Amino acid sequence: MSEPATVTLARHFASLTIGRIPQKHLDDAKALIADWFGVALAGSRADSGAIARRFAIETGGVAEATIVNGRGARVPAVHAAFANAIASHSVELDDVDILALYHFSPPVVAAALAAAERAGSTGAELLTAVVAGCEAMARLSDATNPSLRDRGYHTTPAVGGFGAAVAAGLLFKLDEERMVSALGLAGAQASGLMEMYGPSMQKRFNPGPAARNGVTSAVMAQLGFTGAATILDGQRGFCRAFSDKFDPEALTRGLGTEFPIYIEYKAYSCARPIHNGIDCALDIRRQMGADRVDGIRRITIRRHPAWAHYHQIPRPATHHEAQVSMNYSVAVALREGAALLPQYTEEKVHDPAIIRLSEMVTVVPDDGLPRGVSCLMTAEAADGSTYSSQVDHPKGSIANPMTPEEAAGKTHMLGDPVIGAAGVDRLLERIRRVETLPRAAELMELAQGSATGSHAAEETPFARAS
C-alpha cells in the first residue's frame, strides 16, 4: 500500500531549500511579493482592510508580527496573517492562477511574512516558504478543480489554508512528521464558499481565515499537536469532501522536479474572469472612438461556459458588487477607458450613463471559445455599425504579461499614496535582493506610514516605473 499523499508532500516541503528551487520560480516569488505589498498597502485603506486591521489591533496579544500600514502595530502572528490577507484582497488587484480560480498571495504571502517575523527568519527562508506555499496551493487545486469550484467552494480559502500551513511550517523548521500534522490541522479548518458575490464585503474576508489557520496549524504542530496523515486523499479527506471528481496523481506528480506554479497578475481592479471582457471593451472603445460610446445600443458578450453564468450583475448596489460584475466593468471601461480604483466607487456605481450600458449587456455561453476566461464582445453603435473584439489572454497573463516597468508601476500606483514613492522604491529594492536579507522582517518594517497622498496616480495605469 502506497503512503498517503500528505506524507509524501510533507517530506518534500519539510526538506525544501532555496538551492533546490529553479531560479525562475524564485524570480516569480519575488514578483509575487512585490505585487502583494502594493495591493496590501492600497487594501489597508479600503473599508474591509481597515476593519481587519482594527480587529487585529483591538484583539491584541503578544507582539510577534507587523500589520501592513499599521504604523508599526505588532500583534500575534495569527492576527497579522489574518488582517494582512484581508487587506491584500480588498481592492481586487491581487494575483491569480492561470485558470482564474484562486489567488496565491493573500493566504501564502500574508502567512509567510507573519511567520517569518515570529520565527526571526532570513529573506532566503521567506522566499523558499513562499514558493512552497504556492506549490501546495497549486497541487491541491490541480487535484480538485474544476469540481471544487463547481460545487460552490472558493478555491483561495479552501486550498489556501494548506499553502499557508506549508509556508509557515517551513519557516518554523517543522520536520516531516510535524509538517504532516500541520497539513492535517489545516485540513480540519478548510473552508470557503463561492456565495460571496454581492454588495457585502464577504469576498474580501475569505483569505483571512486561510492565512490565520495556516499559521495556527504550523504553530500547533510545532508544539506537538498531531494531525491526520490521510487528510488529503483519505476516504473522508479533503479531496473527496470538496470535489466530486479529483485527480490524486496531481498531488505529487513530478514532485521535487516540477513546480506547477503559474502566476498571473491583474491590470484591472475587479475579479479576474472579468478582465477579458474589459480588454474587449477597451479595444472596441479604441475602434469606434470614445465620443461614440454613449450611443451604443446593444452589447453582446459570448463567454466560455466555464464562466458564462458568473458575474452577471446588471445593476450592482455597491462598489464591492461592481468589482464582481462583468456588466458594470465592461460599461465603465467603455465609458471611461479604464477599470481601476477610481472606476469602482459608490458614485460611479450610480452613474446613469454607466448603468444604461451595464443593463444593456447580454451574456451568451459559447463552448467554441478556446479558454475558460475567453470573451468575444460585439457592440452595435447608434448608426447600426458593429464592432467586435475577442480576448483569450488578458493583460497580465502569462501569454500577455506586464513588463517589469508596468509591474513596478502598479506597485507604485497602489503604494505611493500610503508610504510615498521613496518608500515604495526602498521596498522594491529590498524585494529584488530578498534572498540576501538577514531579516525578512525588514520588508514589513518598510510597509508602514501615514496616508497623505491622493489617488490621482491611479488614473494612469502603471505609468510610473521605479
Q: Determine the pLDDT at residue 450.
A: 54
Q: Determine the pLDDT at residue 463.
A: 39
Tens of each residue's pLDDT in the chain, 466 residues: 589 999 999 999 999 999 999 999 999 999 999 999 999 999 999 999 999 999 999 999 999 999 998 889 999 999 999 999 999 999 999 999 999 899 999 999 999 999 999 999 999 999 999 999 999 999 999 999 999 999 999 999 999 999 999 999 999 999 999 999 999 999 999 999 999 988 899 999 999 999 999 999 999 999 999 999 999 999 999 999 999 999 999 999 999 999 999 999 999 999 999 999 999 999 999 999 999 999 999 999 999 999 999 999 999 999 999 999 999 999 999 999 999 999 999 999 999 999 999 999 999 999 999 999 999 999 999 999 999 999 999 999 999 999 999 999 999 999 999 999 999 999 999 999 999 999 999 999 999 965 443 333 333 344 333 2
Instruction: For residue 368, give the C-alpha cell.
Output: 467554441
Assess contact for 35 and 409: CB atoms under 8 A.
no
**Angle at CA of residue 332, ends 363 and 40, nearest 5°:** 105
Q: Determine the pLDDT at residue 452.
A: 41
Separation of alpha carbons 276 and 142, rounded Å: 23
Amino acid at 334: L
Amino acid at 340: L
Instruction: For residue 418, give the C-alpha cell.
Output: 500610503
* Residue 249 C-beta-side C-alpha neighbours within 13 Å: 1
Three-class SS string for the chain?
CCCCHHHHHHHHHHCCCHHHCCHHHHHHHHHHHHHHHHHHHHHCCCHHHHHHHHHHHHHCCCCCEECCCCCCCEECHHHHHHHHHHHCCCCCCCCEECCCCCCCHHHHHHHHHHHHHHHCCCHHHHHHHHHHHHHHHHHHHHHHCCHHHHCCECHHHHHHHHHHHHHHHHHCCCCHHHHHHHHHHHHHCCCCECCCCCCCCHHHHCHHHHHHHHHHHHHHHHCCCCCCCCCCCCCCCHHHHHCCCCCHHHHCCCCCCCCCCCEECCCCCCCHHHHHHHHHHHHHHHHHCHHHHHHCCEEEEEECCCCCCCCCCCCCCCHHHHCCCHHHHHHHHHHHCCCCHHHCCHHHHCCHHHHHHHHHEEEEECCCCCCCCCEEEEEECCCCCEEEEEECCCCCECCECCCHHHHHHHHHHHHHHHHHHHHHHHHHHHHHCHHHCCCCHHHHHHCCCCCCCCCHHHHCCCCCCC
Q: Determine the pLDDT at residue 377.
A: 98
Domain at 272-391, CATH homologous superfamily: 2-methylcitrate dehydratase PrpD (3.30.1330.120)
Instruction: For residue 356, give the C-alpha cell.
Output: 444604461
- The structural domains of the chain, with segments of one domain joined by +, span 5-264, 272-391
Assess contact for 459 and 451: CB atoms under 8 A.
no
For the chain, give the longest Cα–Cα distance: 72
Fold exhibited by the domain 5-264? 2-methylcitrate dehydratase PrpD (1.10.4100)
This prediction's pTM:
0.92
Q: Determine the pLDDT at residue 2.
A: 86
